[in-house]
């Protein structure tokens, strides 16, 4: 009898130990980045975990380095419209101890995305990988846990379950957006963890509800997708409600695109990482369920633009990206491509450190820039809200 008890105990502990298929470390810098390998290649790659991608993507330079070549070409619709993409067929990638085979990997130049994020992006994990397991996000410990079934998760205390719809392999949720004029507008939004923003409204939705007229102040910015740069108008909402959770003062973008995903009429827009990552999540695509509970980032303040430019990496240098017209930065002659030598006498080669210096509202900063002519200029700017 004693031996029978020990055997049952051993079997039970084995079941508990193997209920979790894998535990994957990740980094969060706006988006979620996970380590990926190609079998038989001794190199760790960095991929974005992207619920807004229907298929896996690899940077062309990384693919060439690893000996991965395109087998075919195919037209597909992206953020900038329909275009031809190169595809490597029937490939395998490895995440932690798991091999994901029979993947058709789209090969795209991701260098500009890497420049803007400050992280070398080698690829993107999409639906064809995510759908194979139930995925649990643990932002406190920066781990993704994979399971065969939701019931294998030992503790789902604090999570609230929600049914989701799928639109071309991308989850969709409903949002309510309240504006300062007292109106509230509801719509269906793609649940896109690979979009480095809060909320983007599609162009037809913007026109239908005359959203441009609902902001006291707004700015026009540029953003980069996989293959093209698009423009949008950014303003503040009064509050946004998502599946029983309410956030105040959320910056939202109004698309100006006339083609591609953001020109579609069958959904209102995109819900991005700046809101999605405020939740620990369980994604169960097989049962079309999304479980949410507040993460360690739930109460973080939303980033409000304080300077009229973006910054990015270029050839191991930090340079000015896009400049917003009408701002103090534009008026003082700051231009795209200007190299940043220092901010407040501090020099860095990483974007994160500089971006932190540009978030100190109310302070006056001193920029030392190297212009295209080679001339060095010193410019002072006050960090004030643009919205």
SS3 annotation, the chain: CHHHHHHHHHHHHHHHHHCEEEEEECEEECEEEEEEECCCCCCCEEEEECCCCCCCEEEHHHHHHCCCCCCEEEEEEECCEEEEEEEEEEEEEEECCEEEEEEEEEEECCHHHHHHHCCCCCEEECHHHHCCCEEEEECCCCEEEEECCHHHCCCCCCCEEEECEEECCEEEEEEEEECCCCCEEEEEEEECCCCCCCEEECHHHHHHCCHHHHCCCCEEEEEECCCCEEEEEEEECCEEEECCEEEECCEEEEECCCCCHHHCCCCCEEECHHHHCCEEEEEECCCCEEEEEECCCCCCCCCCCCCCEEEEEECCEEEEEEECCCCHHHHCCCCCCCEEEEECCECCCCHHHHHHHCCCCCCEEEEEEECCCCCEEEEEEECCCCC
Domain 165-275 class, CATH top level: mainly beta
- pLDDT for 84 equals 87
On whether the CB atoms of residues 251 and 387 are closer than 8 A, the answer is yes
pTM for this model (two decimals): 0.90
The tens place of each residue's pLDDT in the chain, 387 residues long, gives 333 333 333 333 333 444 789 999 999 999 999 999 999 898 999 999 999 999 999 999 999 999 999 999 987 665 555 678 999 999 999 999 999 999 999 999 999 999 999 999 999 999 999 999 999 999 999 999 999 999 999 999 999 999 999 998 999 999 999 999 999 999 999 999 999 999 999 999 999 999 999 999 999 987 655 556 678 999 999 999 999 999 999 999 999 998 888 999 999 999 999 999 999 999 999 999 999 999 999 999 999 999 999 999 988 899 999 999 999 999 999 999 999 999 999 887 788 899 999 999 999 999 999 998 899 999 999 999 999
- pLDDT for 4 equals 35
Residue 213 sits at φ, ψ, to 5 deg, of -85, 0
- pLDDT for 1 equals 37
CA 309/CA 271 separation, integer angstroms: 23
The CATH code belonging to domain 309-382 is 2.30.42.10
- pLDDT for 81 equals 59
- pLDDT for 5 equals 34
Residue 352's CB is within 10 A of a number of other CB atoms, namely: 12
- pLDDT for 206 equals 97
- pLDDT for 221 equals 85
Q: Which architecture, in CATH terms, is 2-147? A: Beta Barrel (2.40)
CA 307/CA 305 separation, integer angstroms: 6
Q: What residues does CATH 2.30.42.10 cover in the chain?
A: 309-382
Q: What residues does CATH 2.40.70.10 cover in the chain?
A: 2-147, 165-275
- pLDDT for 74 equals 87
- pLDDT for 20 equals 87
């Amino acid at each position: 009898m004693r031996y029978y008890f020990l055997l049952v105990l051993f079997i039970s502990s084995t079941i508990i130990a193997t209920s979790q298929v894998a535990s994957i470390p990740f980094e969060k810098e706006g988006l979620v980045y996970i380590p990926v390998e190609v079998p038989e290649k001794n190199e760790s790659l960095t991929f974005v975990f992207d619920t807004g991608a229907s298929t896996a993507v690899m940077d062309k330079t990384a693919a060439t380095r690893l000996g991965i070549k395109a087998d075919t070409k195919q037209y597909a619709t992206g953020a900038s419209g329909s275009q031809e993409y190169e595809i490597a067929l029937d490939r395998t990638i490895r995440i932690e101890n798991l091999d994901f085979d029979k993947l058709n990997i789209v090969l795209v130049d991701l260098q500009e995305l890497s420049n803007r994020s400050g992280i070398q992006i080698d690829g993107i994990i999409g639906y064809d990988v995510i759908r194979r397991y139930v995925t649990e996000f643990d932002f406190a410990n920066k781990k993704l846990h994979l399971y065969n079934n939701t019931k294998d998760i030992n503790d789902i205390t604090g999570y609230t379950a929600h049914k989701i719809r799928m639109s071309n392999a991308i989850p969709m949720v409903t949002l309510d957006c309240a504006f300062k004029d007292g109106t509230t507008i509801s719509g269906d939004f793609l649940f896109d963890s690979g979009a480095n923003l809060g909320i983007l409204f599609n162009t037809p939705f913007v026109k239908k509800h005359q959203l441009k007229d609902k902001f006291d102040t707004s700015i026009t910015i540029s953003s980069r997708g996989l293959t093209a740069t698009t423009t949008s108008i950014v303003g503040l909402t009064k509050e946004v409600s998502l599946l029983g959770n309410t956030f105040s003062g959320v910056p939202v973008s109004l698309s100006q695109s006339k083609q591609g995903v953001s020109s579609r009429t069958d959904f209102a827009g995109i819900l991005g990482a700046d809101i999605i990552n405020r939740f620990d999540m369980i994604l169960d695509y097989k049962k079309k369920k999304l479980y949410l509970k507040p993460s360690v980032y739930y109460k973080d303040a939303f980033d409000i633009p304080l300077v009229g430019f973006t910054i990015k990496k270029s050839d191991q240098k930090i340079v000015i990206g896009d400049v917003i017209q009408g701002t103090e930065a534009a008026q003082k002659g700051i231009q795209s491509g200007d190299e940043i030598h220092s901010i407040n006498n501090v020099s860095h080669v990483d974007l994160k450190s500089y971006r932190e210096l540009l978030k100190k509202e109310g302070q006056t900063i001193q920029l030392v820039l190297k212009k295209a002519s080679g001339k060095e200029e010193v410019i002072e700017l006050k960090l004030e809200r643009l919205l």
